[in-house]
Amino acid sequence: MFYIFLPIFLIILIIFAVILSILILHLVKYRLPEKDYTNKIIIFFLAGSSVFLLINIIAFFSIPWDSLIY
């Protein structure tokens, strides 16, 4: 049961991280005034967390799970 839902869950996480990073880049580019630093700090924190999520997903796929299971 776990092996059926794991790729679906990872694909949903990848799509969510990509959409979140696109929205964050759009906000940084167009929506923010120049002197509002608190919003920039929050948005760069969100961008960093989405990049960290992508790195974790790539590391999860690169683990040889077959040798760990058997």
| Enclosing domain of residue 25 | 2-63
Residue 46 pLDDT > 70: yes
- Give the residue-averaged pLDDT of 24-44: 69
Segment 47-67, tens digit of pLDDT = 778 778 877 777 777 777 666
This prediction's pTM: 0.42
pLDDT given for residue 26 in this prediction: 74
In a domain, 68, yes or no: no
Q: Please give the share of the chain, as a percent, with pLDDT higher than 70.
A: 63
The 3-class SS string of 6-63 reads HHHHHHHHHHHHHHHHHHHHHHHHHHCCCCCHHHHHHHHHHHHHHHHHHHHHHHHHHC
In a domain, 69, yes or no: no
